[in-house]
Amino acid sequence: MTTISELTTLNFFVGGQARLSQSGRYADISDPSTGEVIARTPLCTEEEVNLAIQSAKEAFPAWADTPAMKRVQVLYKFRDLIDEHLDELTRLVCTENGKVWEEAMGDVLKAKEVVEMACGVPSLMMGESLMNATTGYDTTLYREPLGVFAGIAPFNFPAMIPMGWMLPLCIATGNTLVLKPATMTPMTSMRMLELLYEAGLPDRKSTRLNSSHL
């Protein structure tokens, strides 16, 4: 029988750093195909949630001020890392969610599709202008980052929804995100987040990209 000490205990991320929750409370993550408990995820305290929100607020101004062309360089590399780790990510989806291999891989590839779309943000965020919209007036439209977003993901698509529908477009457009993966299936999102930092997503203390990230 697997003991608690042998289980993988997940951390939570704030400002690019993995942290051990001080709540002392955990939820089991089970492999649906066997019923075996394979890991445990922290049930974070209110203070820890507020810490994540505050970190996202502090990161927002510099990230929003980073040119869109530089922001999407992170996503280009993230896309390549998804390809490189496709089998690993597929296996994670199978293990914690119970999908068959082909469906699990489709889940990961759907996330990759949105990452690729988000790489087009420099064009998607272009504004509009019209000279002489009315006598003596021109009009100009800008698309700007809004601030901190929150994403609460369901369990059924642990790659596609949090790391596809939620995260790529949010950060590509210059916003920041506080992501809460599903308690039942957080391992895929956490691994993809590690890959995102490997791709060059800056932490809170270095939110503006520098040449080492490009």
Name the percent of the chain lying above pLDDT 70.
92
Residue 205 is predicted with a pLDDT of: 54
DSSP string, 169-186: HHHHTT-EEEEE--TTS-
Does 149 score more than 60 pLDDT? yes
Q: Residues 186-196: what's their mean pLDDT?
A: 96
Mapped onto helix, strand or coil, the DSSP state of residue 114 is helix
Residue 7 is predicted with a pLDDT of: 74
Sequence-ordered strand ranges (E) for the chain: 8-9, 12-14, 17-19, 26-30, 37-42, 128-134, 137-141, 148-152, 176-180
Residue 186 is predicted with a pLDDT of: 96
DSSP 162: I
Q: What is the pTM of this model?
A: 0.87
CB count in 10 Å sphere of residue 148: 19
Q: Residues 165-176: what's their mean pLDDT?
A: 97
Does 91 score more than 80 pLDDT? yes
What is the arrangement of strands in the sheet containing 26-30, beginning at the earlier edge strand? 8-9, 37-42, 26-30
